[in-house]
Amino acid sequence: MVEPTDVFGDVHQGETYSPASRMVDDWYAVEAIDAQTVAINEPKSSQYNTSYLLIGETRALMFDAGSSERPAGSRSMREVAERYTGNKPISLILSHFHYDHIYDAAAFDGVTLIDRPDIRADIQDGFYTIGPWESHATGWRPLKVVQLVADGAVLDLGGRTIEVFNLPGHTTESVVLFGRHRNQVFTGDFVYRHLGGIIAFASGSDLTAYKENSARLLQLTNTDTLFFGAHGIPRFGQDWLMLVDRELDKIIKGIATYRYAAHYLAPGIPWRVYQNGDLYIYTTPLIDPPIFWSKWTGLLGAIISLLSLYLLYRIVCLVFSPGRRTRE
pLDDT for 324: 54
Residue pLDDT, tens place only, 172-187: 999 999 999 999 999 9
Q: What is the rounded CA–CA span in Å between residue 153 and residue 213?
A: 17
Distance CA 262, CA 245 (A): 23
- Quote the pLDDT of residue 202: 93
Contacts of 81 (CB under 8 A, 6+ apart): 38, 40, 53, 60, 62, 90
What distances in angstroms separate CA 217 from CA 20, 129, 176, one per listed residue? 29, 29, 9
pLDDT at 10: 72
Residue 118 is predicted with a pLDDT of: 95
What HEC string does 186-242 produce?
A: EEECCCCECCCCEEECCCCCCHHHHHHHHHHHHHHCCCCCEEEECEECCEECHHHHH
Lowest mean pLDDT across 15-29, 66-80, 268-282, 293-307? 293-307
Q: Please give the pLDDT value at position 314.
A: 75
Contact 17, 28 (CB under 8 A): no
Q: What is the pLDDT of residue 1?
A: 53
Q: How confident is the model at residue 322 (pLDDT cuts 50, 70, 90)?
A: low
Tell me the pLDDT band of 297, cut-offs 50, 70 and 90: low
pLDDT confidence of residue 267: 84
pLDDT at 128 (0 to 100):
97
Q: Quick one: which of 47, 39, 124, 46 has its CA closest to 80? A: 39
pLDDT at 64 over 60: yes
Read off the pTM: 0.90
pLDDT digits (tens, 9 = 90+) for 182-204: 999 999 999 999 988 999 999 99
